[in-house]
Structure 1
C-alpha cells in the first residue's frame, strides 16, 4: 500500500493521467465524428500526370506553374478535387473574363475524364475536399428526406438562393445563381467548397445525408410544374404583385380611354 501510494504521488502521475484522458477522448471522437463523403476511387499516377499537363496548358497562366497562385488567380494548394470538379465542370473555369463573379457556362471544352484528371493533380498538391461518392448525390423520392431537405435549405440557403432555388441578387454586383438544372454532384461540391460568395458547409456542419436531403428537395422542386399557371420566375410576391399591379393598371387605363371616347 505504501509503494502504491508513493506511485500515486509521483510528479509524473498527473501528466500520465492527462495523456490517457486525451487519448480516450480522441479515440471516442474519431469513432462518432461524421466522416466526409469521398469518392471511392483513388486517382492513379497516370491521372495526376495527365492532369498536370492539362493544368500547365490551361490554368498555369493565372494560378502559377505550381498552382501557387499569382496576382491574377489564387493558390489552388489545398482546395481539393471537389473545388476543381465544380469550377471546371460547371464551366466557371477557365475564366473567360475578369468580372465580379464567374458565370455558369456548362462543361466547356473539357471532358469528364479530363476534369477528373485536373482534379486529381490539384488534389495531389495538398489535402482538401474530395469529389463526393455517388451514393450521396442521388436524389431520393422519400417524402421525409425531401421535407428534411426543405427545412435545411430554408434555414441555410434560402436567404440567398430563394426558397425554391431561383437565385437572387447580392451586394456589389454579385448574385446567388439559380439551382435548377444543376447536376446534383455540383450542388454537393458547392456546399463542400463554398465557391465565390458562398459560405462553406463542410460535412461537420451539414452531414452527407443532410446534403443529399437538400439535393432531393431541389430536384423535387425542379420536377414539379408551377401550380396555378406561370411561375413568374418563382421569386415570390414581388413578381406576383408587380404582375397584378401592371394588369390592373392596364385595365384602368383601358376603362379611362373607353369612357373618354364614349363621352366625346
Structure 2
C-alpha cells in the first residue's frame, strides 16, 4: 500500500454524522430533564393539570363562588340570606358539607337537611381550606378515637337523649324543630356536632366535654347504631322505638296472650 493512501472503514459512519448524532442525543436528554423538572409526563402536559384542573386553592375558591357566595358573601361576610363564615372554624364547615346540610336548596325550603353530601371528599377539603382563609378561630375538626361506651352512655343520657331520644332515632321538638337521627352519623360528625352545636343544639367546648369524653360519647353512638348487634341480642329490636313504646307493645302482647289463655282454660272446664 502506498504511503498517504486513505483507508475507508465501511463499517463506521463518517465523523460528521457521528458528531451530529451525539448533539441530537445530548439535546434529547436535556429536553427530558427539563420537562421532568416541570412535572410534564412523557406524551403530554403537566401532571395533575393536564386537563386544566386548578389547584386546591383555586378549586375551593371556584366552588365557593358557585355554591356559597350568594348567601354567605364573596368573602364570607354574610348576607341577608345567610350568616357570615369568618372565624367559624374548620369543624363547622366540614360538618355542614359532609352531612349534606349545605348548600341548601329550594326543594328543602332553604332549610339545612341531613342528606347525602353534594361534594366529594377532595372538594369538601378544598372548601374547608378556602373558608379558613377568611379568618382564624372556631373549633378544628376533632380527631375522634375509640372510647369507653359505658362512660359515653352516661354522657349521652345526660346531654343528648332529651332531643335525640334514648335510642338515637331523633325526635320533633315542641316548636316543630326536627332533631335528626344519629344512625348515619360518623364518629367525626358526632365530634363536630358536639363542638360546634349545629341548629338548636348547644356547643360543648373542651372545658365541658373533654377529648376523652368526646371519644366515649362517639363510641356509645356507634353502639346505638347497632354495628356490633349489642342492642338487639336476645330479642326483636322493634325498629328501635324506644323503651317506653317497646314496653307498651310488650304489655299489649302479654295481655292479649293472657286473655286467650283464660278463654282456652274456660272452654276446657265446661
**Band the TM-score falls in, shorter-chain normalisation:** 0.5 to 0.7
Match of 1:39 in 2: none
Query: After the TM superposition, which of the residue ranges 173-182 and 195-204 deviates more from structure 2?
Result: 173-182
1:138 aligns with 2:145: yes
Match of 1:182 among 185, 188, 210: 185
In structure 2, stretches of 5+ residues that fail to align are 1-54, 261-270
- TM-superposed CA distance for 1:100, in Å, is 8.4
Match of 1:103 among 98, 113, 117: 113
CA distance in 1, matches of 2:211, 2:158: 17
1:220 aligns with 2:223: yes
Match of 2:155 among 143, 146, 152: 152
Match of 1:231 among 234, 237, 245: 237
Match of 1:196 in 2: 199
Higher helix share: 1
Quick check: which has more Rg, 1 or 2?
2
Q: Check whether the contact 2:152–2:213 (CA below 8 A) recurs between aligned residues.
A: yes
User: Cα 1:101–1:56, aligned 2, differ >3 Å: closer, same or farther?
Assistant: closer
1:171 aligns with 2:174: yes
TM-score, normalized by length of structure 1? 0.68
Query: What CA deviation, in whole Å up to 9, does each residue of 1:214-247 have, x standing for no partner?
Result: 1111112322431443323323244225535765
User: Cα 1:250–1:103, aligned 2, differ >3 Å: closer, same or farther?
Assistant: farther
Q: Check whether the contact 1:86–1:190 (CA below 8 A) recurs between aligned residues.
A: yes
User: Cα 1:241–1:164, aligned 2, differ >3 Å: closer, same or farther?
Assistant: closer
Query: After the TM superposition, which of the residue ranges 219-228 and 172-181 deviates more from structure 2?
Result: 219-228
Corresponding residue SS for 1:243: helix
Runs of 4+ in structure 1 over 4 Å off: 98-101, 244-254
Q: Check whether the contact 1:101–1:196 (CA below 8 A) recurs between aligned residues.
A: no
User: Cα 1:164–1:249, aligned 2, differ >3 Å: closer, same or farther?
Assistant: closer
1:80 aligns with 2:89: yes
Match of 1:3 in 2: none
In structure 1, stretches of 5+ residues that fail to align are 1-45, 255-264
User: Cα 1:106–1:139, aligned 2, differ >3 Å: closer, same or farther?
Assistant: farther
1:89 aligns with 2:98: yes
CA distance in 2, matches of 1:101, 1:250: 45
TM-score, normalized by length of structure 2? 0.66
Corresponding residue SS for 2:133: helix
CA distance in 2, matches of 1:177, 1:199: 15
**Superposition RMSD in Å:** 2.7
Give 1:249-264 correspondences, 5 Å limit. none
Query: What CA deviation, in whole Å up to 9, does each residue of 1:21-47 have, x standing for no partner?
Result: xxxxxxxxxxxxxxxxxxxxxxxxx54
Query: What CA deviation, in whole Å up to 9, does each residue of 1:55-106 have, x standing for no partner?
Result: 0111111111121111111111111111111001111111123548522112
1:128 aligns with 2:135: no
Match of 1:258 in 2: none
CA distance in 2, matches of 1:250, 1:66: 65
